Amino acid sequence: MPALSPDQANACLASVPEWEIVNGELVRTFQFKDFRAALGFVNRVGELAEGAAHHPDIDIRYNRVRLALVTHDAGGLTGKDFDLAARADSAA
């Protein structure tokens, strides 16, 4: 899957309005009630990522989870990133 152009990637942001593009990655920070809820979300995203064979960078800070997506082998953002972002939103 080829990388999206910057204009294409920006247009795709409309499908995941809570996300932003930062340094070439699709990024969102989720906040939960507590660590247990944050960890549960990470586990759900992990299952989605395994199923899609597309894995985000995940940073957990107590009740906050930051996901960063980029398709490394394409050298940028692709539809896979936006698809997994939308699925992560649903998992939240």
The answer, yes or no, to whether residue 8 has pLDDT greater than 90, is yes
CA 2 to the chain's CA centroid: 18
Mean pLDDT of 56-83: 96
Using CA atoms, how far apart are residues 15 and 13, in angstroms rounded to an integer? 5
Report the mean per-residue pLDDT for the chain: 96
Domains defined along the chain, listed by start: 6-91 (3.30.1360.20)
The answer, yes or no, to whether residue 1 has pLDDT greater than 90, is no
Mean pLDDT of 62-75: 96
* pLDDT tens figures, 34-67: 999 999 999 999 999 999 999 999 999 999 999 9
The answer, yes or no, to whether residue 14 has pLDDT greater than 90, is yes
Output the CA torsion sign for 16, 27, 43, 41.
negative
